[in-house]
Structure 1
Amino acid sequence: MTQSRIVLGPDEIARALTRIAHEILEANHGPKDLVLLGIPTRGVHLAERLAARLTDITGEDFAARTGALDITMHRDDLRARPTRAPHPTRIPAVGIDDQVIVLVDDVLYSGRTIRAALDALSDLGRPRAVRLAVLVDRGHRELPIRADSVGKNLPSARSEHVSILLDEVDGEDAVVIEDGAA
């Protein structure tokens, strides 16, 4: 029997995103040249939430500096799972050249999604720097990739499944971990 437990609820997710927004600003020494790019699907919604918090903190309109980065064709598992639906890349009007790009994703696990995002980003231009913000880091890296800002470090077994539920997609906010037992 599969068991699940909620490890973050709506309030904890909101606090984590506020903390991440402050960390991004501190690491960048302010809002200058920041661009947020969410990795579909939930990373896009998280990037939009971070943009709202950055706007509240700085008074600058971060919605205009937020977009989405489709990584579909850069994934290394296309042969195993070729049915992935692509999501449109949306780059803000400021572009990415000489900007500080913050890639935003929901879960950091093996690092392969972020490697694909870096490849996709290099096809579009040359940022000054690339940073990574994730809501959950569950470990088990297969590539030397580390997040700059993490909402929650969640050590987990490979047999466990971590689900991020967001109101925009799922009708509720929660981080749920399920054991892998059948």
Structure 2
Amino acid sequence: MKEKAVILDESAIRRAVTRITYEILEQNKGAADLCIIGILTRGAFLAERISQKIKEIEGIKVECGKLDITPYRDDKRRLSEPDGTSVDFDINNKVIILVDDVIYTGRSARAAIDAVIGRGRPQRIQLAVLIDRGHREIPIRPDFVGKNLPTSHEEMVKVQVTEMDGTDSVTIYEPES
């Protein structure tokens, strides 16, 4: 795969996270009853950023957790490996904002919804993604999107976050000819 284009740099990601946060607050009329849960791995870092931004804007600390969806996936199974989930709060009757870096087929989002419902009965589940690249196989649509990025099936979208990769960027790669 060769790099085709850098789609978002550090400042563009920061603006997208800020915009998503404001949209979450607007749609939910504030931060009451909100919980943020990030899908491992990079979604968890983005969830923490959204949680911090809510605290900056509203002065309210919302619960923030991370979710390992591997046991709920229909294409990958891990046996006897530790679950990386850390949701140490009650989700019952809460508005859950699931956060992921990229939505593609919708299968990860479906697995995340199953994982959340396995932990309780939220009032509502909403989905926030940094990148929506289309090509759904399951009828799932994110509520909050940083950037729509139409891609071909052959292209790859790589999200990097400072907390894990040392830099913030979204890059699209294409097959080498």
Normalising to structure 1: TM-score of the pair? 0.92
Summarize deviations over 1:144-166 as a string: whole Å, max 9, x none.
00000000000011100000000
Which structure shows the higher strand fraction? Answer: 2
CA distance in structure 2 between the partners assigned to 1:30 and 1:49 by the alignment: 17
**Match in the other structure for 1:160:** 155
CA distance in structure 2 between the partners assigned to 1:162 and 1:119 by the alignment: 25
Shift of the alpha carbon at 1:134? 0.3
Question: Which amino acid is 2:10 matched to?
Answer: P
Q: Is the 8 A contact 1:70 1:86 kept in 2?
A: no
**Match in the other structure for 1:91:** 87
Task: Give 5+ residue unaligned stretches, structure 1.
Answer: none
The correspondence of residues 1-182 of structure 1 with structure 2, limited to 5 A, is: 2-62=2-62, 65-78=63-76, 82=78, 87-93=83-89, 95-182=90-177
Normalising to structure 2: TM-score of the pair? 0.95
* Shift >4 Å, 4+ stretches: 82-87
Work out the percentage of aligned pairs sharing the same amino acid.
48
CA-atom RMSD in angstroms: 1.6
CA distance in structure 2 between the partners assigned to 1:23 and 1:4 by the alignment: 30
CA distance in structure 2 between the partners assigned to 1:83 and 1:43 by the alignment: 23
Question: Which amino acid is 2:42 matched to?
Answer: R
CA distance in structure 2 between the partners assigned to 1:20 and 1:28 by the alignment: 12
Q: Is the 8 A contact 1:7 1:176 kept in 2?
A: yes
Q: Is the 8 A contact 2:3 2:171 kept in 1?
A: no
Summarize deviations over 1:95-147 as a string: whole Å, max 9, x none.
10000000000000000001101111111000000000000000000000000
CA distance in structure 2 between the partners assigned to 1:60 and 1:163 by the alignment: 32
Shift of the alpha carbon at 1:84? 11
Q: Is the 8 A contact 1:72 1:84 kept in 2?
A: no
Task: Give 5+ residue unaligned stretches, structure 2.
Answer: none
Q: Is the 8 A contact 1:40 1:68 kept in 2?
A: yes
Q: Is the 8 A contact 1:3 1:179 kept in 2?
A: yes
